[in-house]
Amino acid sequence: MIKPTTPIKAESRNLNFFYNGGNHALKSVSMPLYENKITALIGPSGCGKSTFLRCFNRMHDLYPGNKYQGEIVMHPDNTNILEQGVDPIEVRMRISMVFQKPNPFPKSIYENVAYGLRVRGENNKRMLDDKVEEALKGAALWNEAKDRLQDLAFNLSGGQQQRLCIARALATDPEIMLFDEPTSALDPIATANIEELMSELKQKLTILVVTHNMQQAARVSDYTAYMYLGELMEYDDTNTIFTRPSRKETEDYITGKFG
Amino acid sequence: MNTATTMLEQSINLTISPRLAKNIRRNIKERIIEFMLMLAALSAVFTTLSIVGVLLYESLSFFKTVSVVDFFTDTQWTPLFEDAHYGILPLVSGTLTTSAVALAVTIPIGTIAAIYLSEFASHKTREIVKPILELLVGVPTIVFGYFALLFLTPILQKIFPDLPGFNMLSAGIVMGIMIVPYIASVAEDAMRAVPMSMREGSYAMGATRFQTAVRVVTPAAISGIVAAYILGISRAVGETMVVAVAAGQQPIVSFNPMESAATITAFIVQVAMGDLPHGSIGYQSIFAAGLVLLMMTLCFNILGHMLRKKYHERY
Ligand SMILES: Nc1ncnc2c1ncn2[C@@H]1O[C@H](COP(=O)(O)OP(=O)(O)OP(=O)(O)O)[C@@H](O)[C@H]1O
Ligand SMILES: [Mg+2]
């Protein structure tokens, strides 16, 4: 099946997740994220894609009563990041996230990008300037934003705001980036920009992306996972999934017969 | 061109089908409801306008005797004395000083309380703390006045032995404590209205809870927080009982909170509760003073409105 030619950056092992109130949203999910690869998560609405993604940066810790079971092992640390003794803040500093809806802070463009560095205590102006520029270039926003860095971030267009959120996540040099339907609120051109960006970003980091858009999964990802009702139904390299999936359900979903 | 003419010709022959015609009964019902709603809204406007009207009318007769220049420049306010002076400045200084002390107390405490309640307290804690704060709102202000006079002032006198029994410091501090629940509750509402997605964005960057509260939630809610401050200022400027009881009755121009002084409101109750004949100049002076009070609150409200516009929140 899959011949791992690249090292694994992180992997979930028998991951179960329970929402407060007992909803068993993930059922024994095991899958790898290969380093410098893009892994796409697809599946019908409510199957647990966001839930799975948000386990990787311990986002579920923000709400009381949620429970993880199983492991997400991060390499090269070889540590289960769901362990009690692991500090979620340290995890989030290395695994950053871009949300479905752009959510810039009520600050200037510059301060939005500098935010992650500032909360890490970085206040050196030169250092911040350099990092902000680098991150905005990395998110293909520099040309549009360089003359208005002090503008409020809300004045950007939706697509620009989403690239700003990517720049914000990039500024702290994360090892893994999580994208939860990053283009669902954007037009085709902005979507193409972001897809191109993701392909460039994988030189530097590992990406996990949730998408409802089959073409997008086929275009950008190296590996694809199909989830259904909290279970991982099929995982393979993207080419295989889209040309000869081994399960009927996967094929039905991809071809639009279901979902 | 061609199609446009045909359409024009056609439209001449159009009629309104009964199924699409205006529904008279529904329209009348709507109109009646609209009218009643308007009446309710107008009653508030009407009351406010009559208050302003009465204030203006009575002040006008006051200013027939006392010149406006004297009113705003004379540094003595002795309308009830033989040698009557009508300078509003001492009352304004008293009002501003007690309000400043109150704000110095209430803004930090109220803001911190709001941040705590909105961002740190668990659901259970909030359910316990909020009713207690609301209870504080229900305490009659005269109780706070005597609390300042009989409890806080003696304590302050231990620290500052020269402090007079009536002083603006004690009155201001207690007034500040009294306003905390208002500020905390309005500011907390504003902070809780900040969408969770914005907080998640901050946490996802590795921010702590405190960093998220101070660097993201507070600026996002700033317009509501400013509104809370303005509400607090208006309350402080208009507060009567605490200052009347604890700050004293001597109108002197002073911005030193360690002194005793009268405020506009304290003067108004003093006269209103006395037995000055209607129409006398002393009686009319309280309307002039009231007008000044109204203008002060209005200024703060306009200022607040401008600030809110400046920091208008957008998510
Ligand atoms: N906060 C919550 N509390 C309880 N159950 C939740 C919560 N959030 C999601 N769920 C449930 O968990 C399941 C998985 O939800 P999740 O949001 O992960 O789906 P998804 O695959 O991301 O769907 P979509 O494609 O619509 O975003 C759903 O059944 C959902 O109802
Ligand atoms: Mg989702």
- pLDDT on residue B8: 58
Residues of B in contact with A57 (CB under 8 A): 204
- pLDDT on residue B4: 55
Ligand 1 atom with minimal separation from the A52 CA: 18
Nearest Cα neighbor of B260 from B132, B149, B186 is B149
Q: Which amino acid is at B242?
A: V
Q: CA-to-CA distance for A181 and A97, rounded, in angstroms? A: 11
Q: For residue B107, is pLDDT > 90?
A: yes
Residues of B in contact with A97 (CB under 8 A): 204
Q: pLDDT tens across B149-194, in order? A: 999 999 999 999 988 889 999 999 999 999 999 999 999 999 999 9
Q: How far is A237 from chain B (nearest CA, A)?
A: 28
Chain B residue with CA closest to A61: the answer is B203
Ligand 1 touching residue A47 (CB < 6 A): yes
Ligand 1 touching residue A46 (CB < 6 A): yes
Q: How far is A52 from chain B (nearest CA, A)?
A: 15
- The DSSP output letter for B212 is I
* Distance in Å, CA B215 to ligand 2 centroid: 27
- Beta pairing class for A67-74 and A95-98: unpaired
Q: Global pTM?
A: 0.82
A158-170 vs A109-119: helix axis angle to the nearest 10?
Answer: 30
Ligand 1 touching residue A25 (CB < 6 A): yes
Nearest CB among A90, A96, A107 relative to B205 is that of: A96
Q: Which domains does chain A have, with CATH numbers?
A: 8-103+178-254 (3.40.50.300)
Q: Which pLDDT band, with edges at 50, 70 and 90, does B312 fall under?
A: low
* Spatial contact of A178 and A96, defined as CB atoms under 8 Å apart: yes
The residues with which A38 forms a beta bridge, in sequence order, are: A207
Q: pLDDT tens across B81-96, in order? A: 778 888 889 999 999 9
* Spatial contact of B214 and B184, defined as CB atoms under 8 Å apart: no
Interface contact A62-B215, CB threshold 8 A: no
ipTM for this model: 0.91
Q: pLDDT tens across A163-189, in order? A: 999 999 999 999 999 999 988 877 888
Q: Does A174 touch chain B (CB under 8 A)?
A: no
Chain A residue with CA closest to B123: the answer is A64
Q: Which pLDDT band, with edges at 50, 70 and 90, does A217 fall under?
A: very high
Instruction: Give me the total of CB pairs closer than 8 Å, taking one residue from chain A and one from chain B.
Output: 69
Q: What percent of chain A has pLDDT over 70?
A: 97
